[in-house]
Amino acid sequence: MKENRLKDLREDNDLYQKDIAKILNTTQAQYSLYETGLRTMPIQLLIKLAKYYDVSLEYLTGISNIKNHYPKDKG
């Protein structure tokens, strides 16, 4: 289910796989494996994407349908 979220978020932001791969410091081919669910994305990359898209890890991983459970840090 997370894989659909990865693709949906990327497309909603008008980005290509190569754009996200660059953000994650990986290759487009490797990111494609994450997005299709053929490889498990390491937690540190999930955290990086959650911050980039401003969504919760629960949303990104498909645990919840609520994009943000927590208020933004004002600090």
| pLDDT tens profile 36-67 | 999 999 999 999 999 999 999 999 998 988 88
d(CA 66, CA 75): 23
pLDDT at 71: 62
Residue 50's φ and ψ, nearest 5 degrees, are: -60, -45
pLDDT at 67: 87
pLDDT at 65: 87
CATH architecture group of domain 2-60: Orthogonal Bundle (1.10)
pLDDT at 58: 92
Q: How confident is the model at residue 3 (pLDDT cuts 50, 70, 90)?
A: confident
